[in-house]
Structure 1
Amino acid sequence: MKRLYRSSLIILSTAIIAACGTFGKDVDETKDWTATQLYDAARESVRGSEWKSARRYLAAVESRNPYSSYAQQALIDLAYVNWKDNEPEQATTVINRFLSLYPNHPGTDYMLYLKGMVTFTPPSAFLSSYTGQDPSERDPKGLRQSYAAFKELVERYPESRYANDARQRLIWLVSTIADNEANVAQYYYSRQAYIAAINRSQTILREFSGVQAAERALFIMMKSYEALDMPDQATDAKRILDQNFPDSKYYKYGLEGPRSWTDWFSPRSWFR
C-alpha cells in the first residue's frame, strides 16, 4: 500500500508540475495567422499608436515570411515604428539592414528620407530663444548623419516625392554644421590654440560654400595668423574677408558680438 501510495503521489505531482508549466507559458494567438493577418494587425496597431504590439506583429511577419514582399514592407514599417517610439538607434539599425538587403527596392528613397529624419534636429524658435541653446552648439554627429542620408537621397532619387523636402532640410543642415565648425574654431582661438583654430576655419571654407559661418571663419583665421606673427597669411585672410563681407560685424564687435537686452532673459547669459 505504501508503495502504491508513493507511486500515485509521484504521478500526481508530475501531472501538477506539467500542468503548471503548460499554464505558465504564454499562448501565441498568432501562431496560425497568415502573413496578411499579421500585417493587418500591425497596421491597426500603428494607427492606434500602439508601438509595442505593432513591433511584435511586424517582427513576426518578417521572421515567418523571410524575403517575401511582406517581410520587406514589415521592415519599412518597423523602422517607422521605432522612430515614432523614440528609438532612433533601433530605427537606424532596421533602416541599414533594409538598405543592405534590398538596395534597389522601390521604397529605398523613403528609407533614406526616414534615416535622415531619425537624427534630424529641427530648429525651434521658442526653445532657442528661451534656453539660448542653438542647434549648432549640440553634438553634430546626428546632424552629419542626417546630412549624409538626405544628400544620398537627392543625388540618387532627384525626382522622389521626398527629394524637395530633403533639399530644404539640407540647406538648414549645411548652415548649422558650418556654424558648429565655427564654434569649435572659436573655442580653439579662445584657448590660444591658433593652428587648430585655423584648421577648423579652413574646413568651413573648403567644405561649405556660401554659408554665413564663413565670415566668422575668415575673421578667426585673420586673428589667429596675427597671433602667430604671420602677417602675409593674416593679410590674405583679411583681403578675402573684405571681399565677401565688406561690412563685417566682427571688426566692430569682435567674436563675442553685440549684446542685446534680450540676452538677459537667456539662462546661458546669467553666468557670463
Structure 2
Amino acid sequence: MLRNSLGRSALVAAMAALALAGCAGRKEKPRLAYEERPVELLYATGADRLDRGLWSQAVGYFEEVERQHPYSEWSRRAILMTAFAHYQSNNYAEAIGDADRFLSLYPGNPAAVYAYYLKAICYFEQIVDVGRDQAATGQALNALEEVVRRYPNSEYAQDARLKIDMVNDQLAGKEMNIGRWYLRQGDTLAAIGRFKTVVERYQTTSHTPEALYRLVEAYLTLGLFEEAKRNGAVLGYNYPGDVWYSDAYKLLTSKGLQPATAPSARAERRGMLSRLPFVKDKDATLKPPADAEPKSN
C-alpha cells in the first residue's frame, strides 16, 4: 500500500510540474500593471514611446488611457493613436480593427476620415505581386474608393486617387498574367476574355496597349480577321507611338491586312508601371492624427 501511495504522489507531482511548464511556455501580450494615473501622463507617455518608435509600448499606454478613462476625449484620440502604432509595427489586422472600432463609436467625428484612410493604407501595403492572390488588392481598392466617396475634398482623398490608379494597374496586371498563361496553354477564347476585361474595365492603365495587341494576336489565331483589324485600329488610333502597335502592325500586314494608321517612326514601349514593385515603405501621408492631443479643460 505504501509503495502504491508513493507512486501516486510521484505521478501527481510530475503532472503538476508539466502543467506549470506548459503555463510558463505560453507567451502573453505584456500589459501594464493597473495603477491609477492622470490621463495626461498616460497619453503623453504613449506619445513619447510613439515618437521613439517603441510601438508595442505606445500601444500599452494608449490602451491604458482607454481602460482608465474610457469616456474622456483622451480615450477617443487614444484609439486612433493605437491604430497608428499597430500600423507602424505592421500589425495590419490590429490596426484595421482599431479603425473599425473608432468608426463604430464615432462615425460622425471629423477624425473618421483618418480611420477610413488608415484602413485603406493597411490593405494597400499588403498588396503582393501579380503572380499571387490579389485579395488585399481588391480590399485596398474598395477602401480607397470609400475615402474618395465620403471625403472627396480631403487631403486623404487626393492621395487615395493616386493609389487607386496604382491598384487598378495591379488588377489589370493580374488579368494580363492570366491571359498570357491561357495563350501559352492554347486556350485562346479564355485568353480573349481576360484581355477584353483589361480593355473594358482598366482602359486607363498601362496594360491597355499590350491587351489590344494580344487581342489582335488571339483573333488572328482563330481566323477572325475583322476582329483582329478592329482591335488593331483601336490600338493604332490611341497609341500610334507605342511599340505594341508597331508589333500589331507587322502582324496584321503579314496576314495581308493593311491597317489605316502606320506606326510612328520612333515607337516606344508604354506601360512600365506594372513592372515596378509596390513600395513597402510606410506611407508618408499617414501620420499621427493632427489633433492627437486634446485640449485640457
Given the two structures, how large is their TM-score scaled by the length of structure 1?
A: 0.68
Residue 114 of structure 2 is matched in structure 1 by 110
User: 1:181, 1:201 within 8 Å by CA — same for their partners in 2?
Assistant: yes
Deviation at 1:113, TM superposition (A): 2.0
For structure 2, the residue ranges without an aligned partner over 5 or more in a row are 1-29, 249-267, 269-297
Q: Residues 122, 54 of structure 1: CA spacing in aligned structure 2 closer, same or farther, 3 A cutoff?
A: closer
Residue 86 of structure 2 is matched in structure 1 by 82
Residue 95 of structure 2 is matched in structure 1 by 91
Q: Residues 96, 233 of structure 1: CA spacing in aligned structure 2 closer, same or farther, 3 A cutoff?
A: farther
Which string of whole-angstrom CA distances, capped at 9 and with x for unpartnered residues, describes residues 201-232 of structure 1? 22222222322211111122222233334344
User: 1:189, 1:220 within 8 Å by CA — same for their partners in 2?
Assistant: no
| Superposition pairs of residues 136-175 of structure 1, within 5 angstroms | 136-137=130-131, 139-175=133-169
State the alpha-carbon separation in 1 of the partners of residues 70 and 225 from structure 2.
66
Deviation at 1:83, TM superposition (A): 1.0
User: 1:147, 1:170 within 8 Å by CA — same for their partners in 2?
Assistant: yes
Instruction: Select which of 44, 52, 58 maps to 2:48.
Output: 44
Identity over the aligned pairs, expressed in percent?
27
Whether 2:211 is the aligned partner of 1:217: answer yes
3-state SS of paired residue (2:186): coil
Whether 2:39 is the aligned partner of 1:35: answer yes
Deviation at 1:164, TM superposition (A): 2.4
State the alpha-carbon separation in 2 of the partners of residues 69 and 202 from structure 1.
52
Letter in 2 for 1:170: I
Residue 23 of structure 1 is matched in structure 2 by none
State the alpha-carbon separation in 2 of the partners of residues 231 and 168 from structure 1.
38
Q: Residues 228, 27 of structure 1: CA spacing in aligned structure 2 closer, same or farther, 3 A cutoff?
A: closer
Whether 2:180 is the aligned partner of 1:186: answer yes
State the alpha-carbon separation in 1 of the partners of residues 35 and 204 from structure 2.
58
Pairs aligned (count)? 221
Residue 15 of structure 2 is matched in structure 1 by none
State the alpha-carbon separation in 2 of the partners of residues 90 and 184 from structure 1.
33
Deviation at 1:80, TM superposition (A): 0.6
Q: Residues 87, 122 of structure 1: CA spacing in aligned structure 2 closer, same or farther, 3 A cutoff?
A: closer
Structure whose residues are more often helix by fraction:
1
Deviation at 1:170, TM superposition (A): 2.7
User: 1:204, 1:217 within 8 Å by CA — same for their partners in 2?
Assistant: yes
Residue 171 of structure 2 is matched in structure 1 by 177
User: 2:195, 2:215 within 8 Å by CA — same for their partners in 1?
Assistant: yes
Point out the more displaced range, 68-77 or 229-238: 229-238
For structure 1, the residue ranges without an aligned partner over 5 or more in a row are 1-25, 124-133, 259-272
Deviation at 1:73, TM superposition (A): 1.4
Given the two structures, how large is their TM-score scaled by the length of structure 2?
A: 0.63
Residue 71 of structure 1 is matched in structure 2 by 75
Q: Residues 251, 163 of structure 1: CA spacing in aligned structure 2 closer, same or farther, 3 A cutoff?
A: closer
State the alpha-carbon separation in 2 of the partners of residues 102 and 27 from structure 1.
26
Residue 205 of structure 1 is matched in structure 2 by 199
Q: Residues 137, 156 of structure 1: CA spacing in aligned structure 2 closer, same or farther, 3 A cutoff?
A: same
State the alpha-carbon separation in 1 of the partners of residues 204 and 39 from structure 2.
51
Point out the more displaced range, 180-189 or 62-71: 62-71
Residue 128 of structure 1 is matched in structure 2 by none
User: 2:239, 2:245 within 8 Å by CA — same for their partners in 1?
Assistant: no
Letter in 2 for 1:111: A
| Superposition pairs of residues 225-244 of structure 1, within 5 angstroms | 225-244=219-238
Residue 245 of structure 1 is matched in structure 2 by 239
Q: Which structure is richer in relative contact order (CA contacts within 8 A, separation 6 or more)?
A: 2
Which string of whole-angstrom CA distances, capped at 9 and with x for unpartnered residues, describes residues 39-82 of structure 1? 22211211221111111122222244445433321221111101
Residue 261 of structure 1 is matched in structure 2 by none
